[in-house]
């Protein structure tokens, strides 16, 4: 895992969170934790406690990894007391302490002496109900559930504030990479204006394999075999997983209240090995990029495959690695990178949140303003066509583009492909997405196409660097 500043001078810009407001004492197993509510409704905690009793809700890949760390690492002051799962008997493992209660009854956990409920079941329900009931009962909640936080994070944060208990979700984005605490605490002294990066390890694995010569289906099958992709991989490959994570980072880093459905999202399923060949000719590679750029009271946001210049740190991300680049007015660019998929890296972030609660100092920010979202980013575009060749195709394409005030920058065509199935690429100068969509709608009606045109944005070097 790496966290680095691209500009060494920027290190002086960080500041610690200021904790103000009235304090409330809450006793936990003989110790005391000092909590306070800030003027913006944030919840901060101070002080220490002796033992934090932990219940895990969901004993899948991440839940079992959290249990293993708690059982084997011997973290002082963290005690696993409950494990909840459906059909719980089949989940029992001998390495969990004998004192742990295994149950499928949430109400039993809620009524217990557990101080923190660690929600790792995923999805919106019953996870949302569990988190809401736990916070209302005065129990802290830790979760790695990006969908829950993306859709209901504001509501749950307000509930946590009103009950003066922590809600932590450091594992919800980028697995074990501390992006969320880095934004909340390490960079809170800056004015961030852009967040972008590679937020889905499954897509990064697939595209890395394709960069090395594999076709999409073969790379996807390997990702499934290794446990990186689900049987239905649409959440990953269609961008919905990355979109939820981008919403969370945008709220924390750019203080913008947005919803997942507002962000234009594009699939990687149409990418072929030939696209990487053309990308190399353009001194680029292809990655699924999530980006949000603050422009006044508007957020320019999108998720999808993009051409990334070889000089960008994003181009160097391989396998299941996640990478986030944040840009600030004073601190410049900061890059977070590390393993973004897998049970143990994510479990590390969960346990780190538990230790933050136990050690008694944590701040969780709230969105400060409702913001409009637009996908109208003006960048260069890569457009790949596959045609049954005939005279006049390029001229017709150029005419349709010109009608929408779009200028062709370059035309690339590799030799050796048969005329009855000929791939070629057109790159265009920076233009609004909406104009290109209208032009491609006209172009797609031409009788020569064997597949719909594939278009991707091209990050400029300064854009790709953050």
Catalytic residues: 245
The secondary structure element, H or E, covering residue 241 is helix 240-254
> From start to end of 192-266, where are the E strands?
192-198, 256-257
Q: Positive or negative CA dihedral for 206, 212, 216, 219?
A: negative
**DSSP structure class, residue 462:** H
The neighbour count for residue 107, using CB atoms within 10 Å, is 9
First to last CA, the chain: 19
List 4's β-bridge partners, or say none.
Answer: 335
Are 55 and 109 in contact by the 8 Å Cβ rule? The answer is yes
Give the DSSP letter string of 66-123: HHHHHHHS--TTEEEEEEE-TTGGGG--TTS-TTPEEES-HHHHHTSS-SEEEE-S-S
What are phi and psi for residue 272, nearest 5 degrees?
A: -125, 165
List 309's β-bridge partners, or say none.
Answer: 284
């Amino acid at each position: 895992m790496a966290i680095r500043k691209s500009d060494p001078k920027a290190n002086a810009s960080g500041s610690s969170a200021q904790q103000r407001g009235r304090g409330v004492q809450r006793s936990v197993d003989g110790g005391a934790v000092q909590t306070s509510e800030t003027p913006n409704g944030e919840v901060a905690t101070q002080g220490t406690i002796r033992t934090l009793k932990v219940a895990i809700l969901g004993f899948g890949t991440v839940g079992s990894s959290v249990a293993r760390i708690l059982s084997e690492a011997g973290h002082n002051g963290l005690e696993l007391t409950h494990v909840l799962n459906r059909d719980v008997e089949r989940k029992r493992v001998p390495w969990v302490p004998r004192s742990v209660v295994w149950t499928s009854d949430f109400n039993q956990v809620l009524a217990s002496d557990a101080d923190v409920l660690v929600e790792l079941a995923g999805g919106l329900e019953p996870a949302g109900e569990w988190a809401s009931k736990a916070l209302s009962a005065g129990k802290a909640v830790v979760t790695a559930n990006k969908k829950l936080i993306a859709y209901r994070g504001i509501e749950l944060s307000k509930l946590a504030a009103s009950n003066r208990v922590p809600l932590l979700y450091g594992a919800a984005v980028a697995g074990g990479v501390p992006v969320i605490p880095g934004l909340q605490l390490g960079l809170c002294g800056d004015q961030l204006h852009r967040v972008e990066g590679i937020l889905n390890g499954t897509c990064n694995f697939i595209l890395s394999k394709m960069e090395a010569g594999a076709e999409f289906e073969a790379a996807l099958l390997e990702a499934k075999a290794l446990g990186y992709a689900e049987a239905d991989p649409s959440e990953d490959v269609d961008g919905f997983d990355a979109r939820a994570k981008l919403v969370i980072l945008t709220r924390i880093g750019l203080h913008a209240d947005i919803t997942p459905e507002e962000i234009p999202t594009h699939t990687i399923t149409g990418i072929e090995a030939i696209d990487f060949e053309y990308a190399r000719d353009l001194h680029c590679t292809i990655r699924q990029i999530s980006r949000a750029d603050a422009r006044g009271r508007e957020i320019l946001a999108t998720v999808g495959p993009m051409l990334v210049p070889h000089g960008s740190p994003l181009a160097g991300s391989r396998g299941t690695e996640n990478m986030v680049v944040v840009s600030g007015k004073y601190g410049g660019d900061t890059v977070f990178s590390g393993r973004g998929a897998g049970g143990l890296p994510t479990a590390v972030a969960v346990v780190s949140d538990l230790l933050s609660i136990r050690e008694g100092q944590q701040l969780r920010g709230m969105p400060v303003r409702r913001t409009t979202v637009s996908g109208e980013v003006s960048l260069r575009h890569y457009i790949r066509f596959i045609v049954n060749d005939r005279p006049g195709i390029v001229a017709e394409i150029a005419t349709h583009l010109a009608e929408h005030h779009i200028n062709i920058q370059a035309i690339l065509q590799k030799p050796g492909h048969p005329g009855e199935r000929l791939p070629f690429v057109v790159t265009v100068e920076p233009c609004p997405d909406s104009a290109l969509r209208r032009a491609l709608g006209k172009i797609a009606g031409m009788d020569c196409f064997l597949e719909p045109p594939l278009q991707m944005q091209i990050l400029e070097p300064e854009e790709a660097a953050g």
